[in-house]
Amino acid sequence: MLVIENTRVVDCEREQDGPVVVENDKIVSVGDAPDDPETVVDGEGGVVAPGLIDSHVHVSMDGRPNSEGLRSESASKLAYRAAENLREAVRAGVTTVRDLGSPGTLGPDTHDAIAEGLIEGPRVVPCGSPVVITGGHGHWFGREADGPAEVRKGVREQLKKGAEVVKTMATGGVLTEGADIGGFEMTPEELDALVSAAAAKGRPTAAHCHAVSGIKNATRAGISSIEHGTFMDREAAELMAEEGTYWVPTASALHGITENGTDAGVPEWAVSKAEEAEAAFEDAWTHALAADVPIAMGTDAGTPFNFHRDAAHELEYMVEYGLSAERAFEAATENAADLLGLGDVGRIEPGYRADLVVLDSDPREDVSAYTEPRAVVAAGNLV
């Protein structure tokens, strides 16, 4: 039994007095102190909040300037990189991640390794390999498929390997040379096939989208979340709001590229595309906020100069783009849990998984609160 005492306790639903009592991997009570706990954490008057949920990471990517350099690395070396990335993430207060693309079975394997206690890290919700068009964005770690029948088969292959979410690239991307971020890749018919194949097994879906045509195609197909959404216009935002489609903005990914640039080793073609996307990104936020599009926090961790340990800075970016601190907190906890289909995280109440952080200040008011957690508890274990 673990007790976090001398704290206030906050989530999106309420503020309570501590302590928080944890047994095994669950929260068993809030506000009632047991007689003889095994471990006591003194919160020193701080705040206990839910652990961060990063809805968009790549577990084996390590923030290097040119991500395509990972193409030459062996599966075993990528696994070692993933283990280190996940260790850094959980120690920074990230207690759940959604891996949206890794080679082979690396995503499902890291999920299992963490669940079995073989490595230290957050809970991993994996997609396996994204289903992409031949030669499309991310083809080097994706499952290439063309036409509805082949896309459907590609989805079923990922589900067989342990995917808990199905990912696709609806448009070109910044970090694949030659991929056009201004047009769509997956056709509407292919997207329909992908969503229906995932839905048959009760799995949610995610679509990488920059161009507005891809955003609209994916939303109309019933995709669960639009990743990036940089060229979102008013019509696309209203469509997403109407359909209840989540937006995962990943501001950290664009900033990591544009703020470092070619002098730091980022390829010129990637910087050029990132600058084009960033020029439209502020308008995307304007449209999304006006339409009240649901937002979940995600960083795209692993892309250039976008490290897994720095996920908390995404909340600061979201506030810079117009979200309130309270809504950024919601995006990183309760909304993200809803998007990932996890009914036992994102809040602090009995029966929920004990994914907790001790902070110096209230994250509903201080957007920087998560950047330096005093203590982290993941699945009941003090990290």
Q: Following DSSP, what letter does each residue of 211-262 receive, concatenated? A: SHHHHHHHHHHT-SEEEE-TT--HHHHHHHHHHT-EEE--HHHHHHHHTTTG
Q: 257, 209 in Cβ contact below 8 A? A: no
Question: What is the second-level CATH architecture of the domain 2-50+347-382?
Answer: Roll (2.30)
Q: Domain map of the chain by residue range?
A: 2-50+347-382, 52-340
Residue 210 contacts residue 186 (beta carbons within 8 Å): no
Q: What is the DSSP string of 329-360?
A: HHHHTHHHHHHHT-TTSSS-STTSB--EEEES
β-pairing, 356-359 vs 375-378, is: antiparallel
DSSP letter at 171 equals B
Q: How far apart are CA 274 and CA 258, in angstroms?
A: 6
**Separation of alpha carbons 357 and 373, rounded Å:** 6
CB 298 within 8 A of CB 318: no
- Separation between Cα atoms, residue 250 and residue 218, nearest integer Å: 18
Tally: H helices and E strands in the chain: 11, 17
Cβ atoms of 196 and 159 within 8 Å: the answer is no
Could you tell me which of 37, 95, 87 has the C-alpha nearest to residue 345?
Answer: 95
- CATH entry 3.40.190.10 includes domain 52-340: no
The answer to whether 9 and 48 are in contact (CB under 8 A) is: yes
Give the pLDDT score at 36: 82
Tell me, what amino acid is at 23?
Answer: E
Q: Tell me, what DSSP letter sits at residue 265?
A: T
pLDDT digits (tens, 9 = 90+) for 204-253: 999 999 999 999 999 999 999 999 999 999 999 999 999 999 999 999 99
Which H or E run includes 153?
helix 148-160
Burial class (CB in 10 A: 0-12, 13-18, 19+), 29: middle
Q: Mean pLDDT of residues grouped by 10 in the chain (383 residues)?
A: 96 95 96 86 96 98 92 93 98 98 95 96 97 95 97 98 97 93 94 98 97 97 98 98 98 97 96 96 98 98 98 98 97 98 97 98 96 97 95
Name the residue with tokens 């709001």: 241
What Cα–Cα distance (Å) separates residue 61 from each residue in 58, 79, 101, 112, 357?
6, 10, 10, 19, 25
Residue 25 has which token pair? 């991997």
**253-278 tens-digit pLDDT:** 999 999 999 999 999 999 999 999 99
What does the H/E/C string look like for 268-293? HHHHHHHHHHHHHHHHHHHHHHHHCC
Asked if 354 and 27 count as a contact pair (C-beta separation under 8 A), the reply is: yes
The DSSP 8-state label assigned to residue 310 in this structure reads G
Distance CA 378, CA 332 (A): 16
Q: What is the DSSP letter of 135?
A: T
Can you read off the two tokens belonging to residue 58? Answer: 């790549």
CA separation for the pair 33, 6 (Å, rounded): 11
Q: In the prediction, which pLDDT does 167 show?
A: 98
